[in-house]
Structures are given as structure tokens and as C-alpha cells.
Amino acid sequence: TIPIIPITPQRVDTTARKRTRQKSSYLKRQSNAKSNNLTNNNNNTNTTTTILPSTPDELHTLALSYSKRHPGSNSYRKGYIHWRTLALDAIRHRLSRNLPRDADIIQFENLFFRLGVASDVGQMPSFEDAGARSGYAVEFFCRARNLADLYVDVLNG
């Protein structure tokens, strides 16, 4: 017989954070760019690292150049992913400028972690922190991307 081991709920610390995808997190990239600017300014260097959003004209020109690639090829897929990333970052940038409060990355990561363990704990986390809500809106505004990615994957399959 298999012994039954009772499962006790794990304590969730107030500072516990789930690891967000560093490479694709818009908030992390913006935070890193700001910290690089502060470091450069403190070291009296003239180099700045700012992530500027693409303009609609730049995105259109890029899309036209990528559309000439052979659908289904690896080059086509990489071009699409590059264009998609730039387009979504441009939208995120404008969205973040129009939110009532700036995103608080620490509070957002805490909310993100708590959403991940909500099913284990049996209680939804609070969305009352405005900075966490702003972070959530900026990071997860576009779930339709998954459907578009599916179509591109079918072409490359």
C-alpha cells in the first residue's frame, strides 16, 4: 500500500517573488535601462542606454522588409518575433505613460508570485496596490499574441 502523507500548506512570505522571465519582461528591461543611465550619469560618462519605442512608420517599414522572406522559413519566424517584440514594446511604452500610477516592479513581482500560488493557498491575492496593478497591466496586456504566434508556428511546422 502507498502511504498517505498529509499535505500542509506552505507559508508564503511577504517578500516571496516568482521569477519573471528576465529576457522578455518589459518592466525589467526598462528598470535596467534606468539603472544604467543612473550609473552612467554618476560616472560622468556621456553614454546613455534608453529603450525608445518604435514608431508606427518604423514598424511598417520593418514589416514590409520581413514580408519578403519565405513564409515557413526560420528567417521569417525570427523576423516575425523581432517585429512582434518591437510592436508590443511600443504599445507597452504608450500604455505605461497613460496609466494613473507608475508600475512598481517589486509589488508587481509579489502579485505575480501570489497569483501563481493562489490555487495552492485557495485565496486570490489582493489587487489593491496601484503600482502592482500597473505592472500587471503593462506586462500582460496582450494575450492575443499567443493566437498570432500559433499561426506563425503552423507556417513553420
- Of 101, 13, 93, 113, give the one whose Cα is nearest residue 53: 93
Look up cell 499535505; give the residue: 7
pLDDT at residue number 95: 86
Residue 139 is predicted with a pLDDT of 86
Mean pLDDT, the chain, integer: 75
Cell of 142: 496582450
How far apart CA 74 and CA 151 sit, in angstroms, is 14
Q: How many beta carbons lie within 10 A of that of residue 136, not counting itself?
A: 19
How high is the mean pLDDT in each 10-residue block of the chain (157 residues)?
A: 51 49 69 64 49 81 91 90 88 87 90 86 88 88 69 63
pLDDT of residue 79: 92
Long-range contacts, stretch 20-23, CB < 8 angstroms, 24+ apart: 20/109, 20/112, 20/139
**Element spanning 82, H or E:** helix 74-98
| pLDDT at position 48 | 42
d(CA 127, CA 48): 35
Task: In whole angstroms, give the CA distance from residue 44 to residue 37.
Answer: 10
pLDDT at 84: 87
Give the model's pLDDT for residue 52: 64
- How confident is the model at residue 7, as a pLDDT? 44
Tell me what pLDDT residue 8 has.
46
Residue 152's pLDDT is 65
pLDDT of residue 46: 47
